[in-house]
Every structure is written in C-alpha cells, then in structure tokens.
Amino acid sequence: MPIKIMIVDDSQFMRALLKKILVAEFTVVGEATNGIEAVKMYEKLNPDIVTMDVVMPKMDGITATSHIVKRNPEAKVVMCTSVGQEEKIKKAISAGAKGYVNKPFQAPKVLQEIKSVISA
C-alpha cells in the first residue's frame, strides 16, 4: 500500500522541490498553498503524513497543524522550518507536529525524517 503524503507550502518552487524529493518513495496525493486549504484538504484526502511549511499567508502552519491534530490526534505532521526557527519548532511540536526538517531541504534528511515519523 503506497504511503500517501500531502505537501503544504505557499511557495510553488518549494512544493515542486519537495515533490521531486518525495515521489521516489511516496505518493503525493495533494498540495495546499496555505493553512486553511491544508485543513480542508486533510479532511478530504486523509493522507498518511503531511509536510507543513511554517510561514504562510491566510493561516500559518502551526495553526493549521493544531486544527488538523484536534480533528485527528493520530495525524502525522512534519514541519518544514528555516534554520534559526527553534522557537517555532517548539510551538509546532506543542501544536502536535511529530517531526521537522530544516530548509533548505536536503533530500536524504527529508526522507529520513518522514520515514522515522511514519514508523514511530
């Protein structure tokens, strides 16, 4: 059974970059461009795991994560943060994120973190 993954990032470039990294091992079922879209898309698609950007318009990734986790406490969300956003990582973990990867993305680290969250 392929693992379904959803990408959330407002940057088209970052979504494309992540997709390029992920498609080798996972099935990308959806891409959302902000937190509001992410919450709606999560309910509709019920993915196995979500990669979530932090800084986005309309609704940020931390708020979106807390909404998703409130609806499904088992939801697996991996935050995509920039180096130096330690405070945001803490907030994201409090909101229910299960892991994080630093931007700029390095493919092996992204895949390793996602696999580790899936198998946890």
Partner 1 sequence: MEGEVNKLIHFKIMGDKGAERAVESLSMMLDTDVNMNISSVNMVSLITIPDIVGSDEVVSLFSPFMGTVSGSMFCLLSPDSTKKIASVLLGDFDEEESDGMFDEMQQSAAAEIGNIITSSFVDVWADTFGIELSHEPPSFTYDFADAIVDNVLIEASQSGDFVIFFNSTLNVTNMDIDFNILMMPDPESLQKVFDLFENVEPESVTE
CB of 1 to partner 1, least distance (A): 29
Angle 35-45/61-71 helices, nearest 10 degrees? 30
- The residue among 20 and 71 lying less far from partner 1, judged by its C-beta, is 20
Q: Does 24 bind partner 1 (CB under 8 A)?
A: no
Instruction: Please give the structure tokens belonging to residue 8.
Output: 């959330």
Region near partner 1 per CB under 8 A, out of 24-32, 36-44, 55-63, 91-99:
55-63
Q: Does 31 bind partner 1 (CB under 8 A)?
A: no
> How does strand 99-103 pair with strand 4-8?
unpaired
CB of 71 to partner 1, least distance (A): 26
Instruction: Count CA atoms within 13 Å of residue 23 on its CB side.
Output: 9
